[in-house]
């Protein structure tokens, strides 16, 4: 049972599209607000648009919340299962004279609206059904005429205080009597939302700013139904770097697409938390505990937030870097398998070795999927050689030096970083050449890249045989071409 002082917030997604970044941020802010205040976070699926709602989309919402770790305390409630509740309140509104039946055919009204728009005239419902005589009404009822229910919009303006945008005033002169119950008995969003927020004891409605134009309508419903009003906080838009509303043009919008790319949920949460809210200092990387502790609606910026993918990638890289090798291995597993770097059976057998690769490569991953490019050479032989890097070292002199050193490599019995380094340093000293003259080509010949983790560790992890094979292949190709 709800305690009087309890903070109760809700996430109320419509399962008509993928769970996107904007919805994820709304969910997160509600969750943070609930957790900060030891309140309740409620999940309510607004699935009254039967045609556009789907089970698949409901699943993406549940998956998305689950992935981010936004656990809910009540629900999920489904509006489609609560139709009787909405009807009860609609009846109350009719009984009290705040709403009336409308027998107009939606197609007829749509045609009228279109015609007016064509003539550049505004159009709003003219209350013709409100003005039906009792006789006319009886006639319609007798004929069992399909009917919707409209809310009788008063002519006074609505003023409300938004916790983020301050005072909002809405004049109703241009607002028609909106439909609250459709002919098919399904309530519209505003009715169902207002009823549910009241029935579920919601104390703070925290939602996207797109809904700020709906709020006055919901306030009218609250007033007509004698409900106590919640507080409202409308979250700013999320824009792409071109200042346009975030959409598919800006890359992935669906939250789960970020999981597939290898973003870490903790980094995503940290990033989304800062997409409109600030802790009041410059701190960027924060634990979830710290974010909960500091979160407040007061520090939400009313200005639109800009989605900066580079920042997200940087932050994700920071989270990966801070993971233990074991944690990184757990997160990387699906990618190692997807890229066919390893079979599920080998994961266990080679665990110790993979852990060391994780430790070596950690710093170079912004997203987990970067392992494909940054770490491929550890696992398989079909990696690419950066053409320019290779070109740089394909000279007779270099080839000779590498060839000579590879013979020494063959003799190293304990092929570990320390022994490889010792041999290499001894070799270059004897030859009186700078170490880099050997280190650079060795790296490129064995990894295809100019950069990477420390060379000696890299060679050790690739293993003696594979290193020598790779070096031999490069030398052979060179010699074949250059006689």
Tokens of residue 381, six digits: 């032989």
CB 93 within 8 A of CB 180: yes
Instruction: Write down the residue that tokens 């070109």 correspond to.
Output: 391
Is the Cβ of residue 41 or residue 377 nearer to ligand GLU in the bound state?
41
Shortest separation between residue 302's beta carbon and ligand GLU, angstroms = 18
Shortest separation between residue 29's beta carbon and ligand GLU, angstroms = 11
In degrees, rounded to 5, the angle at the alpha carbon of residue 80 between the alpha carbons of residues 74 and 81 is 65
Is the Cβ of residue 52 or residue 429 nearer to ligand GLU in the bound state?
52
CB 253 within 8 A of CB 21: yes
The rounded distance, in Å, linking the Cα atoms of 18 and 253 is: 8
Is the Cβ of residue 212 or residue 305 nearer to ligand GLU in the bound state?
212
Residues 6+ apart with CB under 8 A from 302: 164, 165, 236
CB 238 within 8 A of CB 248: no
Shortest separation between residue 206's beta carbon and ligand GLU, angstroms = 8
The rounded distance, in Å, linking the Cα atoms of 61 and 64 is: 5
Residue closest to ligand GLU (Cβ): 207
Is the Cβ of residue 14 or residue 296 nearer to ligand GLU in the bound state?
14
Burial 441-463 (b: 16+ CB within 10 A, else e): bbbbbbbbbeebbebbbbbbbbe
The rounded distance, in Å, linking the Cα atoms of 468 and 450 is: 18
Q: Residues, the chain, total? A: 483
What are the C-alpha distances in Å from 189 to residues 32, 109, 111, 197?
Answer: 25, 20, 23, 12
Alpha helices for 285-324 (secondary structure H): 288-294, 309-321
Is the Cβ of residue 193 or residue 312 nearer to ligand GLU in the bound state?
193
Is the Cβ of residue 17 or residue 334 nearer to ligand GLU in the bound state?
17
Shortest separation between residue 45's beta carbon and ligand GLU, angstroms = 9
Per the DSSP assignment, residues forming a β-bridge with 101 are: 149
- Active-site residues, by number, are 248
Shortest separation between residue 211's beta carbon and ligand GLU, angstroms = 5
Is the Cβ of residue 18 or residue 335 nearer to ligand GLU in the bound state?
18
Q: Is 176 helix (H, G, I), strand (E, B) or coil?
A: coil
The rounded distance, in Å, linking the Cα atoms of 9 and 132 is: 42
Shortest separation between residue 387's beta carbon and ligand GLU, angstroms = 49
Q: Which residues bind ligand GLU (CB under 6 A)?
A: 12-14, 46, 193, 207, 211
Shortest separation between residue 22's beta carbon and ligand GLU, angstroms = 9
């Amino acid at each position: 049972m709800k305690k009087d002082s309890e903070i109760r917030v809700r996430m109320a997604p419509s399962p008509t599209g993928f769970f996107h970044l904007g919805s994820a941020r709304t969910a997160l802010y509600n969750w943070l607000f609930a957790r900060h205040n030891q309140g309740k976070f409620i999940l309510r699926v607004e699935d009254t648009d039967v045609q556009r709602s789907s089970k698949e989309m409901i699943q993406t919402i549940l998956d998305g919340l689950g992935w981010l770790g936004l656990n809910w305390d009540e629900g999920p409630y489904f509006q489609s299962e609560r139709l009787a509740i909405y009807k009860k309140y609609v009846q109350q509104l009719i009984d009290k004279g705040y709403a009336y039946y409308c027998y107009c055919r939606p197609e007829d009204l749509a045609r009228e609206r279109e015609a007016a728009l064509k003539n550049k005239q505004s159009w709003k419902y003219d209350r013709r059904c409100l003005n039906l005589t009792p006789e006319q009404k009886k006639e319609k009822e007798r004929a069992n005429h399909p009917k919707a229910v409209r809310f009788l919009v008063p002519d006074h303006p609505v003023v409300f205080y938004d916790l983020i945008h301050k005072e909002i005033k809405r004049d109703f002169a241009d607002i028609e009597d909106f439909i609250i119950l459709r002919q098919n008995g399904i309530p519209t969003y505003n009715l169902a939302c207002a009823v549910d927020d009241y029935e579920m004891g919601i104390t703070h409605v925290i939602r996207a700013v797109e809904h700020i134009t709906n709020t006055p309508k919901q306030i009218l419903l609250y007033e007509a139904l004698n409900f106590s009003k919640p507080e409202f906080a409308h979250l700013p838009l999320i824009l792409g770097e071109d200042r346009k509303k975030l959409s598919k043009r800006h890359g992935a919008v669906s939250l789960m697409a970020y999981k597939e790319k290898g973003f870490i949920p903790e980094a995503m949460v940290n990033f989304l938390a800062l997409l409109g809210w600030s802790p009041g200092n410059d701190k960027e990387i924060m634990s979830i505990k710290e974010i909960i502790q500091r979160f407040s609606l007061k520090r939400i910026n009313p200005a639109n937030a800009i989605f900066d993918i580079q920042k997200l990638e940087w932050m994700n890289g920071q989270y990966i870097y801070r993971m233990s090798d074991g944690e990184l291995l757990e997160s990387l597993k699906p990618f190692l398998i997807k890229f066919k770097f390893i079979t599920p059976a080998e994961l266990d057998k080679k665990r110790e070795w993979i852990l060391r690769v994780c430790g070596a490569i950690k710093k170079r991953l912004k997203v987990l999927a970067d392992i494909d490019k940054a770490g491929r050479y550890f696992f398989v032989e079909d990696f690419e050689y950066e053409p320019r890097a290779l070109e740089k070292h394909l000279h007779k002199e270099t080839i000779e030096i590498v060839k000579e050193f590879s013979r020494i490599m063959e003799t190293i019995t304990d092929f570990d970083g320390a022994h490889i380094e010792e041999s290499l340093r001894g070799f270059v000293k004897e030859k009186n050449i700078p170490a880099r003259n050997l280190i650079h080509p060795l790296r490129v010949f064995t990894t295809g890249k100019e950069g990477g983790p420390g060379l000696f560790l890299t060679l050790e992890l690739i293993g003696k045989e594979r290193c020598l094979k790779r070096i031999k292949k490069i030398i052979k190709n060179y010699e074949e071409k250059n006689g």
